[in-house]
A = this chain, B = another copy of it.
Amino acid sequence: MTVTSEAVNRDILEHVTSLLHARGERMTVPRRSVLLALSARTGHVSAEQVVSDVATLAPAVHRSSVYRTLDALTAAGLLQHVHLGHGATAYHLVEHAHPHAQCTSCHTIVDLPTDLLDALTTCAQEQFGFVLDPLHVALSGTCRSCAHNQQKPGH
Contact = CB atoms under 8 A, between A and B. Distances in A.
Interface of A: 83-86, 101, 103-104, 110, 112, 116-117, 119-120, 123-124, 127-134, 136-144, 147, 153
Contacts of A104: 133, 136
User: In the assembly, how many copies of this chain are there?
Assistant: 2
A127 B144 CA distance: 10
Given A83-B83, A136-B104, A131 B142 contact: yes
Given A83-B83, A138-B137, A144 B128 contact: yes
Contacts of A131: 141-143, 147
Contact of A120 (B86, B119, B127, B128): B119
13 contacts: A83-B83, A83-B85, A83-B140, A85-B136, A110-B130, A116-B123, A119-B120, A130-B144, A131-B142, A132-B139, A133-B140, A137-B137, A137-B138
Contact of A128 (B110, B119, B123, B134): B110
A129 to B, nearest CB: 3
Nearest to A140: B136
